[in-house]
Amino acid sequence: MMDWTDRHCRYFHRLLAPSALLYTEMVTTGAIIHGDADRFLAYNLEEQPVALQLGGSDPEDLAACARIAEKRGYDEINLNVGCPSDRVQRGRFGACLMLEPELVKDCMSAMIDAVDIPITIKTRLGVDDHYSYQYMSDFVGRVAESGCEVFIMHARKALLAGLSPKQNRDIPPLHYDWVYRLKEESPDFQVVINGGIGSVDEVNSHLEHVDGVMLGRAAYHTPWLLAECQQQLFENQILETREDVIEPMTMYLERQVKNGVAVKHISRHLLGLFQGLPGAKAWRRYLSENAYRDDNNIDLLNQALAAMKKAAGKSHSIESMPL
């Protein structure tokens, strides 16, 4: 989720789900080694536990980045072998690496040997015509020879040509049954399922078959889903209503503005907070139209909330939908 789950987004999501493991957006090894590592690896301590997702295909570079991340306090390193974008393919990483299982094994081995924190992988079921349960199972088996024990499975194949990244998230059919079978046949692996999951009921259903569930765009577009999962799975929800998010996020805005961060870089992650409730459109419109007018407007969220209440015809707190 490049350009989406930055540190501001993750701070917001941590408020909603204190028990979740958060993942960064994918960061390339080149950006860390040759770019501004401080910018790409910065995170708030409140985000922990947090995993760094890497994109790359050079074992030495990946090992070097893993060492840097471990020193900076990351709790896990995850290799992305699932992104199908042209940009990623040109860099020889992402989903195209499913065609090179031996190289992926070497990449994982290099990172596992370099650090003490867990090294995990996120992959697809296959790519293009290299797509069958056997192909996927053989790929996982080869990668497991590195010592990797955690496999996050996006339950679709990737098409490396002819589909956009967005279409690759929607058009190839889902095969949750393949992921279930993988766990059944390899009980010692930790298998996490991903792809097309958008409700707590679906999460609970998957957890009957696998060890974990990863939420991506559903959590971003309808972030209250994270709070629902927190309450259902861990029974220690901190926030009772969506409106409870406003005060801590306003305090966060104030701190970040003092550090030179523009309000718009934070408020964009909250557009979906009230999705499904009366006045949600007014909330989104107010944030979208006003976030760019004043980079230092730390009261933006309260102003948007007032606009939402006015549009909804309410003067009292807007309660969350029942959990």
Q: Which DSSP state fits 43? A: -
With cut-offs at 50, 70 and 90, classify the pLDDT of residue 166: low
Residues taking part in catalysis: 83
pLDDT at residue number 322: 42
What's the whole-number mean pLDDT along residues 274-298? Answer: 96
With cut-offs at 50, 70 and 90, classify the pLDDT of residue 74: very high
pLDDT at residue number 323: 43
pLDDT digits (tens, 9 = 90+) for 200-223: 999 999 999 999 999 999 999 999
Quick check: is 55 in a domain?
yes
Tell which of 202, 218, 234 closes a domain. 218
Tell which of 186, 218, 250 closes a domain. 218
What's the whole-number mean pLDDT along residues 177-181? Answer: 98
With cut-offs at 50, 70 and 90, classify the pLDDT of residue 318: low
When the pLDDT of each residue in the chain is averaged and rounded to a whole number, the result is 92
As a whole-number percent, the residues of the chain with pLDDT over 70 amount to 92
Residues 126 and 250 reside in one and the same domain? no
Quick check: is 322 in a domain?
no
CATH number of 181's domain: 3.20.20.70
CATH number of 268's domain: 1.20.120.1460
Distance CA 49, CA 1 (A): 18
**Which stretches does DSSP call E strand in 41-166?**
50-55, 76-81, 119-123, 150-154
Write phi, then psi, for 193 (nearest 5 degrees). Answer: -105, 145
Quick check: is 233 in a domain?
no
Q: Answer whether residue 86 shows pLDDT above 90.
A: no
pLDDT at residue number 174: 96
What's the whole-number mean pLDDT along residues 137-146? Answer: 98
Residues 32 and 146 reside in one and the same domain? yes
Quick check: is 284 in a domain?
yes
Quick check: is 146 in a domain?
yes
Residues 85 and 192 reside in one and the same domain? yes
Residues 205 and 259 reside in one and the same domain? no
Residues 132 and 23 reside in one and the same domain? yes
Quick check: is 234 in a domain?
no
With cut-offs at 50, 70 and 90, classify the pLDDT of residue 162: low
Residues 148 and 34 reside in one and the same domain? yes
**Structural domain of 302:** 242-312
Residues 77 and 154 reside in one and the same domain? yes
- The DSSP H or E segment spanning 212 is strand 212-214
pLDDT at residue number 315: 47
Distance CA 103, CA 264 (A): 40
With cut-offs at 50, 70 and 90, classify the pLDDT of residue 90: low
What's the whole-number mean pLDDT along residues 35-64? Answer: 95
Residues 115 and 52 reside in one and the same domain? yes
Q: How many CB atoms lie within 10 A of CB 187?
A: 9
Distance CA 53, CA 11 (A): 17
The domain tally of the chain equals: 2
Tell which of 218, 253, 269 closes a domain. 218
What is the torsion angle, in degrees rounded to the nearest 10, for the CA atoms of residue 33, residue 34, residue 37 and residue 39? -150
